[in-house]
Amino acid sequence: MPRTARPLVLFFLATFAGCFPAQGELCGLSAVYSVQVEVSSSTEETLADAAVFFRVLDSDIHDDSQPSAAFEACEQLGSSFGCGVEADGRIEVMVEAQGHEEASHIVEVGQGQCHVEPEHLVVQLEPLSCTAEAAPSVVLSLVDDQGEAIPGAFAGWGLPFDDSAWQECEALGTDFACGWEQSGILEVTAGAPGYQPWMQSIEVEAGECHVQTRYIEVALEESDTPCTSEVRPSIVVVVTDTLANPLPSAETHFVPHLKPLEPAPCYSTNNGRFFCGEEEPGEFDVLVRAEGYLPWSTTVRVDRNECHVETQYLLAELTEMVFDG
């Protein structure tokens, strides 16, 4: 909810009893805060960072959906807060503090003979009760130009300037969950057969318990061709030891059969995953070496469809060398 700060009101506070003039005397000019709020924690913890806001609600006592104003900041008065100046009617007061549940109260402030008859509100905030359930970083909805979900859609995410392989977003019904409790900048990509690919950097803020999930709806644009603009690797090699521990320091090369070329290095992602070639079909020898392990090799064929190569995924499980004596 939007909140706008109110400049410090330079008024004198009257007593809670209001101001009633003596016969023949004019009312005093000192203005009165409509609501005075005292804030504490139910655990008796000091709330030095508490903040209090207020807004004047619609005059219809049965309808809170149409407030007449946005929230404004209350003035801090030592250990308490003053909300509104000479404002009467139904006033909503919202109190928040780090590590505590937000609280909201509605009070009725009447108009006296001279000034409003102020209300005194004591608010105790409860500590946050964070759940153990993880929150998704981004929930992505992929739709067509009619707002309908797209069959066969896919999405993935990664971190900028991070060499690790991108991860698939998890399906949540027709939506996708991209990352869990991952704050900061996420690069999210998506697409579907017959649609142009989409990519965007999305900032996710951390909350007091969980990340503040970003909900994004993307209308994909139809493509003249079912092919996408992505560049697919010919071969993906995952290199591990016999206990399935990744070996990111391994050296991985591939050699095309039809070309008398030297072995070409595969691109490492620093997590034991290597990408070999870009949109290159054919037969290849794949060679893997790592210090302290026996070498590994295989031959693989990579076919191509009308759009891209059909990436081949290999697992290179290296056996540790054993030296006698």
CB 302 within 8 A of CB 234: yes
Task: Please determine, looking at this structure, whether the domain spanning 3-125 carries the CATH number 3.60.15.10.
Answer: no
The pLDDT value given to residue 61: 46
pLDDT tens-digit map of 259-296? 667 788 998 876 788 999 888 899 999 999 999 999 99
In one-letter notation, the amino acid at residue 320 is E
The pLDDT value given to residue 278: 86
> 128, exposed or middle or buried, with CB in 10 Å at 0-12, 13-18, 19+?
middle
Q: What order do you get walking across the sheet with 175-180 strand by strand?
A: 170-172, 175-180, 136-143, 214-219
Give 136-219's CATH code, choosing from 2.60.40.1120, 3.30.70.1400, 3.90.550.10, 3.20.20.70. Answer: 2.60.40.1120
The pLDDT value given to residue 152: 86
Alpha-carbon distance of 20 to 118, in angstroms, equals: 13
Q: What order do you get walking across the sheet with 89-96 strand by strand?
A: 3-4, 71-73, 51-56, 89-96, 103-111, 116-117
- Record the tokens describing residue 312, joined without a space: 């081949």
SS3 letters across 236-250:
EEEEEECCCCECCCC
Q: What parts of the chain have a pLDDT lower than 50?
A: 1-24, 61-64, 67
Give 233-318's CATH code, choosing from 2.60.40.1120, 2.60.260.20, 3.40.50.300, 1.10.3720.10. Answer: 2.60.40.1120
HSE-CB of 285 using CA atoms within 13 angstroms: 12
Where are the CATH 2.60.40.1120 domain residues in the chain? 3-125, 136-219, 233-318
- Record the tokens describing residue 202, joined without a space: 């999305």
The pLDDT value given to residue 191: 83
Show Cβ contacts of residue 109 under 8 Å, excluding neighbours closer than 6 positions.
34, 35, 84, 87, 88, 89, 90, 91, 116, 117, 118, 119
- Nearest C-alpha neighbor of 12 from the set 32, 26, 38: 32
